């Protein structure tokens, strides 16, 4: 292991030393930072290619370096010939400017030890990619070692070389003279570029139609770097010392064969006997065997065979080669179009970008990321084109890793996040980003999310476009789990609430509620209770969709395991709000039923929780009482009980086991052995008085002689109603059996409250739900003479359980109340008595809490026979046709003129109508 590390260390040191020694002192280093060794290229792969950056602009470049030590074995005049040849090639390349030629960023600089110049960023030479690894760094870079050309890359690369030759032959009137894989460079984007003009030949008559070129005779004694690569030279170059544009086309044919043949040319040339090798090659080319071309794609074999023809005039020219069907590949055409985009107008560009998403999935990732992506991001400087380019960029981002996204895409996207002009383009950009928000939040670093992505979401929520707001609200739940909690609580939720309250669009308001409902699980319980639920009561509209959205949020909060609504909030805020919404006339039957299901669930849980609490409290009180026995504690040290216990001690209220608390909770007896005679006498006296108090009969209520029979019956009926109401504590929320309705009754038979005549009584709420015991604000407890002559006005907690017991003397067994008076009262022969007559006559200047609890009764209406009545006395169904108040002919009898008693309260026509007046 240690030897391997030492070897690696020595290799790195050697490479660093080579770079330092080669480039040190060269003027290129004044403006450019030279990095690591990447590849090699040029004639004989003599140029080492390094990555680099320009110091002033941090622009990425490639630095080509020729180390003069490579030619130390040659004599001085040979060294000079090699250096002059290399200089000529670079200088010629610097003068030529074309997309298919390698672009020079800084001209050639010479120092004592090296030659150096800078070009556009480079990946490697084609020779390196095809397996020629001379003059490469050690160890071999994996990206070159494992590089495999895709078909689309090969096709488009050969097409680019053909276009480059067409430019040289037609535009510059020049023959390259040494076209081979060594002089074809793949730049960082994957484009194929021509370099190596060391042996280029210009036309001696560029203005004439028929161009003439003069070439030098082959000199075998020259160093190899002073001669072109003979394996890619046309036969006439060696045998007849002539060349023209067709000679480059022969070289192109050999390059095409090498690309499909693992880098091997058509023929191997003996460089020591070049003329004999070419003579033999000429004979083979005259009758070329099909086996030589069998590795080429079938659609290009004939064209390559023509390029390798012995007769130059048979070979197709470069312009013809660019038009062969082999290059009509979708990917190649797409890449070719990108190279000519600068010549297109915005309309042509937009049409091309619209169809590009269909092509991108068919192209290799490397081609898309390194060839197409840079061309797309360069269009971001044109604001009008951004909406057309952006979908393609985001489509490519999906194929990239997070590291590639951050390095290649994110820097160009950052300005687009903030683009707001022109407005139409800005709106389209927002829509596109919102549709890909999960991608952005997944791959964008958290700091950039906070600084760039989320501000764009906030801007979308505040956008004037309803479409953008709707889309934003629909998409937010899909990525809510990726938003940090402070940003959601302090920035996102307030904007959603603002959009809901301020919008004039029903769709935005409903989507706001739906959005809030979906992201509740990412919020904490108390934030929802303090911020979300109160916000629901601020919503002004009452459309069914809005009401169902509000119901949904309540239901989600109530039923979610992490959230939940406390029973105090249920009783004081949630249930009152939901009940008021449930009777909105805009709701249909199914929607109303949905409300009632949630309301019942809330009531059931509230009842269960509070009942459990009270049971636990009662158990604790009973345990405390059991500890207060004689001899255990003195009266002075007894733990204080609640006010309820103290009242029960006085009045002897019955406990849960049927035993009287008053008798059980007797005062503890002190130890008589330790008392003086005087203390014993005093204690005996106190016990005698206590016994008298326990055996004393309660004060009988003062009987008030009624002014007429109606008042007596009113009092009896009131007592009967109150005794009936006391049974409501034991009623469940389930649907009880429905008794048969009394003829003429206007109330549904599903309510659990039944009058003394056997007629079911509606409670004004949902019929299946029944009365809730906790909802009645009445209570009765013996408080002195005259107690039963009116309703109690105490503010203590009502105890309906006490009303079911006989208010007999303390210490006696409870008995069922005698209701014989009510039986005689409700015989069919007796006239009906209105409930308003039953109520106590209010003392002048005071208000009865009984009446205040329900408000003033509405005017009496004659009941409708046979029609089921819904909530609040309104028949089931909606609309004027089903509402009895809009159809007088549905009533069985005309409404009787209401009479007014001495107290000014209108009499109702019947007991049922009075109940309806009472319960709404």
DSSP H helical ranges for 628-739? 643-651, 661-664, 677-695, 709-725
- Say what the pLDDT of residue 195 is: 96
Question: Which of the residue ranges 174-183, 443-452, 816-825 would you say has the lowest mean pLDDT?
Answer: 816-825
Residues 589, 874: Cα–Cα separation, whole Å: 13
Strand partners, 60: 53
Q: Please compute the mean of the pLDDT values over residues 804-826 and round it to a whole number.
A: 41
- Are 236 and 242 spatial neighbours (Cβ–Cβ below 8 Å)? yes
Q: What is the pLDDT of residues 366-401, one digit of tens each?
A: 999 988 998 899 989 888 889 999 999 999 999 999
| pLDDT band, residue 269 (cuts 50/70/90) | confident
Higher pLDDT, 745 or 226: 226
On whether residue 456 sits in a domain, the answer given is no
Least confident of 279-288, 397-406, 696-705, 771-780: 771-780
Residues 780-798: what's their mean pLDDT?
38
pLDDT given for residue 717 in this prediction: 42
Q: Which has the closest alpha carbon to 196: 187, 185, 204?
A: 185
- Show Cβ contacts of residue 492 under 8 Å, excluding neighbours closer than 6 positions: 454, 457, 458, 461, 476, 483
Q: Poorest-confidence range of 48-57, 552-561, 783-792?
A: 783-792
Of 430, 485, 427, the residue nearest 453 (C-alpha)? 430
Which residues, including other chains, have CB under 8 Å from residue 784's CB and lie 6 or more apart?
699
For residue 327 the two structure tokens come to 């290059």
Whether 582 is covered by a domain: the verdict is yes
How sure is the predictor about 680, in pLDDT bands with cuts at 50, 70 and 90? low
- State the CB neighbour count (10 A cutoff) for residue 235: 17
In whole angstroms, how far apart are CA 714 and each of 788, 789, 816?
12, 11, 21
Nearest CA-CA partner of 256 in 248, 245, 265, 247 = 265
* Domain end position, chosen among 283, 300, 327: 327
**What is the largest distance, in Å, between two alpha-carbon atoms of the chain?**
155
CB 776 within 8 A of CB 798: yes
Q: What are phi and psi of 174, to 5 degrees?
A: -140, 145
Phi, psi of 62 (to 5 degrees): -120, 135
**pTM of full prediction above 0.95:** no
Domain range holding 88?
A: 6-327
SS3 string of 361-409? HHCCHHHHHHHHHHHHHHHHHCHHHHHHHHHHHHHHHHHCCHHHHHHHH
Q: Is the pLDDT of residue 134 over 60?
A: yes
Residue identified by tokens 């007014």 is 900
Report helix, strand and coil shares of the chain as percent, to nearest 5: 55, 5, 40
Cα distance between residue 881 and residue 254, in whole Å: 93
Residues 565/558, Cβ–Cβ less than 8 Å: yes
With beta carbons less than 8 A apart as the criterion, state whether 15 and 23 touch.
no
Of 601, 618, 635, the last residue of a domain is 618
Which tens digits make up the pLDDT trace of 746-784?
Answer: 333 334 444 433 444 444 434 444 334 333 333 344 334
Give the side-chain half-sphere CA count within 13 A for 45: 19
Least confident of 48-62, 160-174, 470-484, 537-551: 470-484
User: CB–CB of 164/101 below 8 Å?
Assistant: yes
C-alpha separations of 676 from 670, 672, 681, 682, 716 in Å: 12, 8, 9, 10, 56
Are 454 and 416 in contact by the 8 Å Cβ rule? The answer is: no
Q: Looking at the domain assignment, is residue 762 inside a domain?
A: no
User: Token pair for residue 464?
Assistant: 């004037």
* Pairwise CA distance, residues 283 & 264, whole Å: 20
Phi, psi of 806 (to 5 degrees): -70, 130
In this structure, is the dihedral angle defined by the CA atoms of residues 486, 489, 493 and 495, taken in order, positive or negative?
Answer: negative
Helix (H, G, I), strand (E, B) or coil at 791: coil
Is 431 a residue whose pLDDT tops 70?
yes
The residues, ordered by sequence, that sit 6+ positions from 266 with a Cβ below 8 Å of its Cβ are 253, 254, 257, 292, 308
Q: Is residue 255 part of a domain?
A: yes
Helices 506-518 and 493-502, interaxial angle, to 10°?
Answer: 150
**Number of structural domains the chain divides into:** 2
pLDDT, residue 643, reads 47
Provide the pLDDT for residue 280. 87
| CB 267, CB 135: distance < 8 Å | no
Q: Is the pLDDT of residue 337 over 80?
A: yes
Q: Where are the alpha helices (DSSP H) in 378-529?
A: 386-399, 402-404, 410-417, 423-435, 437-443, 446-448, 454-461, 466-479, 485-487, 493-502, 506-518, 525-527
pLDDT band at 173 (very low <50, low <70, confident <90, very high): very high
Supply the CATH number for residue 254's domain.
Answer: 1.10.510.10
Matching residue, tokens 């001696």: 204
Q: Is 89 helix (H, G, I), strand (E, B) or coil?
A: helix
pLDDT score of 690: 63
Query: How confident is the model over 824-834, as a mean pLDDT?
Result: 42
Name the token pair of 52.
């680099």
CB-based burial of residue 630 (10 Å sphere; 0-12 exposed, 13-18 middle, 19+ buried)? exposed
Task: Report how far apart, in Å, the C-alpha atoms of 383 and of each of 216, 428, 455, 741 are.
Answer: 54, 11, 20, 76
Q: Within its chain, how far is the Cα of 861 from the centroid?
A: 55
Which residue reads 């733990």 in tokens? 639
**Sequence-separated (6 or more) residues with CB below 8 Å from residue 127:** 40, 41, 45, 180, 181, 182, 184, 263
Task: Specify the pLDDT at position 679.
Answer: 65
Tokens (6 digits) for 4: 């391997």
Distance between CA atoms of 222 and 395, rounded to whole angstroms? 55
The predicted structure's pLDDT at residue 207: 83
Question: Residue 131 is encoded by which pair of tokens?
Answer: 């397996």
Decide if 592 contacts 581 (C-beta within 8 A).
no
Q: Tokens at residue 801, please?
A: 């359980």
**Is residue 139 reached through a cis peptide bond, with omega within 30 degrees of 0 on the bond before it?**
yes
Q: How far is Cα 727 from Cα 804, in angstroms, rounded to an integer? A: 7
pLDDT at 82 over 70: yes
Output the pLDDT for position 290.
83
Give pLDDT, residue 694: 58
Q: Higher pLDDT residue, 695 or 669?
A: 695
Pairwise CA distance, residues 809 & 662, whole Å:
12
Assigned domain for 78 exists: yes
Which helix or strand (DSSP H or E) is residue 277 part of? helix 274-286
Q: Is residue 185 part of a domain?
A: yes
Q: Rounded to the nearest 5 degrees, what angle is found at the Cα of 890, between the Cα atoms of 885 and 892?
A: 115
Which residues face 174 on adjacent strands?
202
Q: For 557-589, what is each residue's pLDDT tens digit?
A: 998 888 889 989 989 999 999 999 999 998 999
Confirm whether 30 is domain-assigned.
Answer: yes
* CA–CA distance, 602 with 556 (Å, rounded to integer): 12
Residue 874 lies in a domain: no
| Mean pLDDT across 428-456 | 87
Q: Tell me, what's the pLDDT at 483?
A: 85
Return the HEC string of 538-559: CCCCCCHHHHHHHHHHHHHHHH
| Domain end marker among 563, 597, 618 | 618
Percent of the chain topping pLDDT 90: 40
CB 46 within 8 A of CB 225: yes
Is residue 751 within 8 Å of residue 907, measured between CB atoms?
no
Q: Which residues contact 523 (CB under 8 A, 6 or more apart)?
A: 488, 489, 493, 532, 563
The mean pLDDT value of the chain amounts to 74
- Give CA–CA dist 645/668, Å, rounded: 16
Report the pLDDT value the prediction gives residue 209, as an integer from 0 to 100: 78
Band (795; pLDDT cuts 50, 70, 90): very low
Q: How confident is the model at residue 695 (pLDDT cuts 50, 70, 90)?
A: low
Q: How far apart are CA 34 and CA 191, in angstroms?
A: 23
Least confident of 257-261, 444-448, 671-675: 671-675
Q: Which residues contact 396 (CB under 8 A, 6 or more apart)?
A: 360, 368, 369, 372, 373, 376, 409
């Amino acid at each position: 292991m240690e030897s391997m590390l030492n070897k690696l260390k020595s290799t790195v040191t050697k490479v660093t030393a080579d770079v330092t020694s080669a480039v040190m002192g060269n003027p290129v280093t004044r403006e450019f930072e030279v990095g690591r060794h990447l590849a090699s290229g040029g004639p004989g792969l003599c140029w080492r290619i390094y990555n680099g950056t320009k110091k002033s602009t941090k622009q990425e470049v490639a630095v080509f370096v020729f180390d003069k030590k490579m030619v130390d074995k040659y004599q001085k005049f040979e060294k000079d010939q090699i250096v002059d040849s290399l200089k000529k090639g670079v200088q010629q390349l610097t003068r030529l400017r074309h997309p298919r030629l390698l672009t020079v960023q800084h001209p050639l600089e010479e120092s004592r030890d090296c030659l150096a110049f800078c070009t556009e960023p480079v990946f490697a030479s084609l020779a390196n990619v095809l397996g020629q690894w001379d003059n490469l760094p050690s160890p071999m870079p994996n990206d070159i070692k494992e590089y495999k050309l895709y078909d689309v890359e090969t096709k488009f690369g050969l097409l680019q070389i053909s276009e480059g030759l067409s430019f040289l032959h037609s535009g510059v009137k020049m023959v390259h003279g040494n076209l081979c894989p060594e002089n074809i460079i793949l730049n960082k984007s994957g484009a194929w570029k021509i370099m190596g003009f060391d042996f280029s030949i210009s036309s001696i008559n560029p203005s004439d139609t028929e161009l003439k070129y003069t070439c030098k005779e082959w000199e075998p004694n020259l160093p190899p770097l002073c001669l072109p690569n003979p394996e890619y030279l046309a036969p006439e170059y060696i045998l007849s010392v002539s060349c023209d544009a067709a000679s480059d086309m022969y070289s192109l044919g050999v390059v095409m064969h090498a690309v499909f043949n693992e880098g091997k040319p058509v023929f191997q040339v003996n460089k020591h006997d070049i003329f004999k090798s070419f003579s033999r090659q000429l004979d083979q080319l005259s009758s070329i065997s099909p086996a030589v071309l069998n590795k080429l794609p079938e659609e290009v074999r004939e064209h390559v065979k023509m390029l390798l023809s012995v007769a130059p005039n048979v070979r197709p020219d470069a312009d013809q080669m660019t038009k062969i069907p082999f290059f009509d590949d979708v990917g190649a055409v797409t890449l070719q179009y990108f190279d000519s985009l600068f010549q297109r107008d915005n309309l042509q560009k937009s049409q091309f970008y619209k169809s590009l998403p269909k092509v991108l999935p068919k192209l290799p990732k490397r081609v898309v990321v390194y060839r197409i992506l840079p061309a797309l991001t360069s269009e971001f400087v044109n604001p009008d084109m951004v909406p057309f380019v952006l979908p393609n960029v985001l489509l490519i981002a999906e194929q990239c890793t997070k590291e590639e996204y951050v390095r290649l895409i994110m820097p160009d996207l950052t300005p687009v996040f903030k683009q707001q002009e022109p407005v139409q383009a800005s709106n389209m950009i927002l829509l596109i980003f919102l549709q890909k928000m999960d991608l952005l939040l997944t791959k964008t670093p958290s700091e950039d999310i906070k600084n760039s992505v989320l501000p764009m979401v906030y801007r979308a929520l505040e956008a004037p476009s309803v479409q953008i707001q709707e889309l934003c609200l629909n998409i937010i739940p899909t990525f809510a789990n990726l938003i940090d909690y402070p940003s959601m609580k302090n920035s996102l939720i307030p904007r959603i609430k603002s959009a809901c309250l301020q919008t004039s669009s029903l769709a935005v308001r409903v989507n706001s509620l739906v959005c809030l409902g979906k992201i509740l699980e990412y919020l904490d319980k108390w934030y929802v209770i303090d911020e979300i639920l109160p916000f629901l009561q601020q919503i002004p509209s009452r459309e069914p969709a809005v009401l169902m959205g509000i119901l949904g949020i309540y239901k989600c909060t109530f039923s979610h395991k992490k959230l939940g609504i406390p029973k105090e909030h249920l009783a004081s805020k949630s249930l009152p709000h939901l009940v008021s919404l449930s009777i909105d006339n805009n709701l249909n039957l199914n929607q109303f039923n949905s409300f009632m299901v949630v309301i019942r669930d809330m009531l059931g849980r509230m009842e269960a929780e509070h009942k459990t609490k009270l049971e636990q409290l009662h158990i604790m009180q009973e345990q405390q009482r059991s500890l207060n026995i004689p001899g255990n504690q003195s009266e002075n040290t007894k733990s204080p009980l609640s006010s309820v216990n103290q009242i029960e001690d006085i009045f002897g209220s019955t406990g849960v086991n049927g035993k009287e608390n008053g008798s059980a909770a007797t005062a503890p007896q002190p130890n008589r052995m330790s008392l003086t005679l005087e203390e014993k006498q005093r204690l005996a006296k106190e016990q005698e008085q206590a016994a008298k108090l326990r055996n004393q009969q309660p004060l009988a209520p003062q009987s008030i002689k009624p002014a007429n029979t109606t008042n007596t019956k009113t009092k009896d009926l009131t007592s009967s109603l109150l005794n009936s109401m006391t049974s409501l504590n034991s009623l469940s929320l389930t649907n009880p059996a429905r008794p048969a309705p009394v003829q003429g009754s206007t109330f549904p038979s599903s309510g659990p409250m039944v009058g003394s005549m056997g007629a079911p009584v509606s409670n004004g709420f949902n019929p299946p739900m029944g009365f809730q015991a906790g909802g009645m604000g009445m209570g009765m407890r013996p408080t002195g003479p005259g107690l039963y002559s009116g309703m109690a006005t105490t503010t203590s907690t009502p105890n309906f359980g006490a009303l079911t017991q006989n208010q007999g003397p303390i210490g006696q067994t409870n008995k069922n109340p005698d209701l014989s008076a009510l039986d005689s009262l409700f015989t069919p022969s007796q006239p009906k008595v209105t409930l308003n007559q039953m109520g106590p006559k209010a003392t002048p200047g005071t208000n009865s809490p009984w009446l205040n609890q329900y408000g003033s009764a509405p005017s009496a209406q004659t009941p409708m026979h046979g029609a089921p009545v819904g909530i609040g006395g309104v028949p089931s169904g909606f609309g004027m046709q089903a509402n009895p108040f809009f159809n007088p002919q549905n009533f069985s009898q005309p409404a009787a003129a209401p009479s007014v008693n001495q107290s000014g309260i209108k009499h109702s026509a019947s007991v049922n109508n009075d109940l309806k007046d009472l319960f709404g």
